């Protein structure tokens, strides 16, 4: 599942033009104290076949917030930013967050500036109503050496400044390599947090992915309190076969101690909790995310 998601993400990143900027004041007023949403990658096949019908099903379950994982050629699930904004508004949905990979080609080192395509990505994110622009991967060329990592985190900080001009917050979402890979004997994730300024770069902790990197969410939260504005809420079980070792499952059925994790995150300031499930153990994805929301409600998160 991990490899398919990374392939999916690499094919989902380039934009061309757009507008509509929102002020910091407007977004400051709209930032949620505690919000539960769903990552649309959880129902990716359904969104590909029938995005409108799938969104209607999610609304029927009770979801009010979604996070995208599909922005291609300046469109969200085949809709332009303003078209998708209308779809969301008509359904009573908010898309507060979205995943689009910040690639090396989005940064021009000679000009010390971002490409037009990335600037349009940020503008379209604002137009569709996002608060967070999340890059869910870090390419290998940006993390081969400690100097490479520091340069890429400088670009992340600059991206945070760029996003702030449109009333947005830039962030990073982990997979597993950040915890298993080390540079100069220091875990990559520690270096990412050390070299990103919280003023410019927020962290979205995927509490399931990190298990394949050899750590636990409770450990990460205790080592970096207050650094996570958003969580990917995910549970994990042993995969039936293949690699990675663990795969996601319905909340409460796995080893993550999900309620303890989100309770701890909430205490340290996390406000956006995004449910994500990528593997289903034979269940229908739509039914799985419905069960996930039911579990969140039973824990008092809704």
Tokens representing residue 103 in the block: 């690639």
Number of structural domains (the chain) is 1
Q: What is the pTM of this model?
A: 0.89
Whether residue 88 has pLDDT greater than 90: yes
Instruction: Look at residue 184 in the predicted model and tell me its pLDDT.
Output: 97
Instruction: Look at residue 15 in the predicted model and tell me its pLDDT.
Output: 36
pLDDT digits (tens, 9 = 90+) for 20-43: 333 333 333 344 467 999 999 999
Q: In the predicted model, what is the mean pLDDT of residues 104-122?
A: 97
Tell me the DSSP string of 155-204. HHHHHHHHHHHTT-EEEEE--SHHHH-EETTEEHHHHHHHTS-TTTEEEE
Q: In the predicted model, what is the mean pLDDT of residues 93-106?
A: 98
Which residue segment(s) compose the domain that 242 sits in? Answer: 2-298
Instruction: Look at residue 5 in the predicted model and tell me its pLDDT.
Output: 52
| CATH of residue 49 | 3.20.20.150
Of 5 and 12, more confident: 5
Whether residue 8 has pLDDT greater than 70: no
Q: ∠ CA 152-155-158 to the nearest 5 degrees?
A: 155
Q: How far is CA 159 from CA 33, 105, 127, 293, in A?
A: 25, 13, 18, 33
Q: In the predicted model, what is the mean pLDDT of residues 92-108?
A: 98
């Amino acid at each position: 599942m991990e490899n398919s998601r990374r392939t999916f993400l690499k094919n989902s990143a380039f934009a061309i033009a757009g507008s509509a900027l929102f002020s910091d004041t407007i977004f400051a007023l709209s930032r949620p104290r505690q919000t539960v949403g769903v990552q649309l990658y959880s129902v990716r096949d359904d969104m590909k076949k029938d995005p409108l019908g799938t969104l209607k099903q999610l609304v029927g379950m009770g979801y009010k917030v979604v996070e995208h994982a599909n922005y291609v050629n300046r469109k969200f699930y085949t809709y332009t930013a303003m078209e998708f904004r209308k779809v969301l508004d008509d359904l009573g949905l908010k898309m507060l967050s979205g995943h689009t990979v910040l690639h090396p080609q989005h940064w021009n080192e000679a000009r010390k500036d971002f490409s037009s395509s990335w600037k349009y990505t940020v503008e379209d994110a604002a137009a569709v109503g996002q608060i967070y622009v999340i890059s869910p991967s870090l390419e290998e060329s940006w993390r081969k050496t400690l100097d490479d990592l520091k340069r890429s985190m400088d670009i992340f900080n600059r991206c945070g400044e760029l996003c702030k001009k449109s009333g947005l917050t830039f962030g990073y979402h982990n997979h597993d390599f950040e915890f298993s890979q080390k540079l100069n004997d220091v875990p990559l994730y520690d270096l990412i947090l050390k070299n990103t300024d919280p003023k410019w770069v927020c962290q979205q902790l995927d509490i399931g992915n990190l298990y394949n990197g050899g750590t636990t969410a409770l450990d990460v939260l205790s080592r970096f309190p207050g650094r996570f504005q958003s969580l990917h809420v995910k549970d994990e079980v042993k995969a039936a076969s293949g690699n990675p070792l663990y795969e996601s499952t319905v909340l409460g059925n796995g080893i993550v101690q999900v309620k303890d994790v989100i309770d701890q995150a909430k205490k340290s300031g996390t406000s956006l909790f995004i449910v994500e499930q990528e593997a289903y153990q034979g269940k229908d994805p739509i039914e799985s995310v419905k069960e996930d929301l039911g579990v969140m409600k039973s824990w008092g998160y809704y």
